[in-house]
A and B are shown apart, each in its own frame.
Chain A
Amino acid sequence: MALVLIEDSELLESALRGDRRSLGKLISRIELGFNPGLKKSKTWTLGVTGPPGVGKSTLIGSMISEWVRRGERVAVLAVDPSSPKSGGALLGDRMRMQGSDSSDSVYVRSIATRNHPGGLSYFIDPMIDVLAAAGWSKIIIETVGSGQSQTRIAAFTDRILLVEGPDRGDIIQAEKAGIIELADIIAINKSDIPSAKETFDSIIYSLDMSKSSNVDVHLVSALNGDGIISLIASIEKCHNYEDENFIRLKERLLSFWDSRLLSYPDLNDLLEQLNTGTITLDEASDMVCKGLLEEEI
């Protein structure tokens, strides 16, 4: 069987017609830098973020089941970090999402960050556009909420669900604002474990302190289904207030800026000069700005 290289346009066409194999291949090409340049269509996106192991994937799994029952077509991009040393990645999210492997109404794709400078910011938008154009009515992005470039991926969605777990109270108090500032909805998962309630209380307390009254907080259990329906209701009615949109846009801008800065060709040169003290930080940033402008021309 000969290897046939299918043209990008042909692949796009058949992916949009609903062919899953083509969709899979198209996303791989976007990961390598291809941008299909689709017109921005109407999309419904949800970012799900939070610390490792709190149950993000399991919770997404139970929400998927409910949405599919209601006739939605749900696509999930599950993002995990690549190892900076080997470049490899362990992609284990889909294993936790029930029904991810057998329904025509569910598409789950695991994405490794591949150590791109500044994170996945260049790729995530084209992927969302392709999925929306292919008829996926709900698009969910799971990302671990550790490390800034990871958290920022969530800012590329229209609504952000922060998932927390039991015994996180002290840490949340210590972190103060952070990701809580970006979150539209907060779910404390594993409510079947008593200490989840403590996390719930300290989040309510933090929110009271920062007067973010727009945030709904839920105590849920992905394991036994408690609270899932009202969590979904909260997600469904969530809409962006203008000032929140600004926070989000700022994160997106910052993440693009990071990508461009980190892929600046003479970056090592600059760092060398900073190291020897021949230039100041101020001069270095001027040089980057000028350099980036010249690149455009």
Chain B
Amino acid sequence: MRIVIAKPGLDGHDRGAKVITRILRDAGHEVIYTGIRKTPEEITRIMIDEDAHALGLSSLSGAHQVLIPKICEKLKSSNMHDVVVFAGGIIPEHDHQILFDSGVRAIFGPGTHSNTITEFLSEVENRKLNKMPTGVGEDLGWRWC
């Protein structure tokens, strides 16, 4: 899969995002790393230009409550309904539902085993093959947990 790893929000730490990037590369994916401090508009532009299938958003600073739903909306309004969105970083339990409702399909907390993330992506590939919804703007019935 072609996967974009982005870091919205203002904090400048991106070690976590870089680790994920390497894990996904070693699992055979083409990973585009965008660097820090990207706006929802920029992230959407990158998804379009790179023809990416999935978007991983890393958040540490509490930016997720506003920014992640905003990115999901922007993807939908740009006709990118079939893109798979997942999130990682520090996201408190009570915020998960907002993200799932926006179309995020998986949330990986700190200390998630790298296998878990690659298994999630294999499951996504399987579902896509069987024409089952996985995208940010598709039927919300399924998510990884």
Contact = CB atoms under 8 A, between A and B. Distances in A.
Interface of A: 1-3, 20-21, 23-25, 27-28, 82-83, 86-92, 94-96, 101-102, 107-110, 112
A89 B34 contact: no
Contact of A21 (B48, B133, B135): B48
A97 to B, nearest CB: 10
B51 A110 contact: no
A51 B24 CA distance: 25
Nearest to B46: A101
A1 B82 CA distance: 8
B33 interface: yes
B137 A1 contact: yes
List 8 A-B pairs, minimum CB-CB distance, nearest first: A24-B51, A95-B35, A88-B25, A101-B42, A91-B32, A88-B28, A87-B28, A86-B28
Given A3-B131, A101-B46, A88 B31 contact: yes
A102 B31 contact: no
Interface of B: 2, 21-22, 24-35, 38-39, 41-43, 45-46, 48-51, 78-82, 131, 133, 135, 137-138
A83 B27 CA distance: 10
Given A1-B82, A86-B25, A24 B48 contact: yes
Contacts of A82: 30
Question: By DSSP majority rule, is chain A's interface helix, strand, loop, or mixed?
Answer: mixed
Nearest to B42: A101
Nearest to B29: A88
Nearest to B80: A21
A109 B131 CA distance: 27
Contacts of A28: 2, 51
A27 B51 contact: yes
B138 A1 contact: yes
A286 to B, nearest CB: 38
A1 B34 contact: no
B21 to A, nearest CB: 6
A95 B21 CA distance: 13
A21 B79 contact: yes
A2 B28 CA distance: 27
Contacts of A83: 25-26
B51 A107 contact: no
Contact of A112 (B30, B38, B78): B30
A252 B85 CA distance: 40
A212 to B, nearest CB: 37
A107 to B, nearest CB: 6
Contacts of B43: 101
A101 B25 contact: no
Given A1-B135, A1-B137, A86-B26, A92 B33 contact: yes
A102 B25 contact: no
